Amino acid sequence: MKVRKGLTLIEVLLALSLLSLVLLALNASLVSNLGATAEAGLRTQAVQILNYLGRRVVAGELLPAPGTPLVYGYGSLKQSFPELTRESYQANPDLYRASIRNLGLPSWAQSLNLPIHEYEIQVCFRKAGGESCTRAHTFSAIPGQGEQAPPLPGIN
């Protein structure tokens, strides 16, 4: 009887096949997670830009007239707002577009006789399969009045 010392070729090929299947599954998971992380980074930066624009609206610096939105296309945010720094891939303002729309006097503000308008701010970014946007609403002075909106009880 012959004593075996080692593995046969079939056993080695079978082990390599199983190892390659496990590595393939891990690779697919890694690629999927990298894509999700990149999109989360883009979404986080979009929200930061949205908050920045919202602060500018509340301060009375960006007040479009009703029916005439302010639109900043892809590649123009950095030119319009040089204080937005470019730090890394997702933090590049040129990867985003934004718009600010004046929705006019809200009905509840009219009943309280408050001279404010509602503004919708939207920031979008391109992603695989299309575009994704985030939006928010805020309140500020009426354009052209040259004054700040009064503080809102419970809000300001």
- Model pLDDT for residues 114-143, shown as the tens digit of each residue: 888 999 999 999 987 899 999 999 998 888
Query: pLDDT tens across 60-73, in order?
Result: 888 899 989 999 99
Round the CA-based radius of gyration of the chain to a whole number and report it: 27
Identify whether the C-beta of residue 84 lies closer than 8 Å to the C-beta of residue 152. no
Q: Taking residues 99-118, what's their average pLDDT?
A: 90
pLDDT at 145: 63
Helix ranges (DSSP H) in 59-121: 77-80, 107-111
Q: Taking residues 46-72, what's their average pLDDT?
A: 91
What is the chain's mean pLDDT, rounded?
85
Q: How far apart (Å, rounded) are the C-alpha atoms in residues 154 and 94?
A: 36
More confident residue, 72 or 86: 72
Using the predicted structure, report yes or no on whether residue 156 has a pLDDT greater than 50: no
